[in-house]
Amino acid sequence: MSLKERLTQEGMKLMSDPRMMKLMQDERFMKLMMAAMSMPGKVSNFTDEQKEGIAKSMGFAQERELRDLKRAVRALEAELTELKKKVAAQK
């Protein structure tokens, strides 16, 4: 039995327990569960913000800036190729 199947099976047993049903009806418990489920996203956002702040303070280029620069370089290379073709055609 895989871990996922085992967790699903144990979760179903837990959900069928009358004590758990009563707990699920408690508003405080549900708020706690919702906060716990949103925590990974909050941590991820926080670490991303901190990472960007550190990179900015140290003068490092950010991933988004690098993508924009690469896109601009590709566009300029394509334009240069076109101009070379035009010059070669005129000769």
| pLDDT digits 0-9 by tens, 46-83 | 999 998 889 888 888 878 888 999 999 999 999 999 99
**pLDDT score, position 62:** 79
**pLDDT score, position 39:** 93
Which conformational region is residue 59 in: left (phi greater than 0), alpha (psi within -120 to 50 degrees), or beta? left
**pLDDT score, position 50:** 93
Q: What is the rounded distance in angstroms from the CA atom of residue 29 to the CA atom of residue 37?
A: 12
Q: The pTM is what?
A: 0.47
The length of the chain is 91
Enter the DSSP assignment of 18: H
Instruction: Report the chain's mean pLDDT, rounded to a whole number.
Output: 90
Closest to 74 (Cα-Cα) out of 66, 86, 85: 66
Q: Taking 80 as the threshold, does the pLDDT of residue 21 lie above it? A: yes
| Residues 50/56, Cβ–Cβ less than 8 Å | no
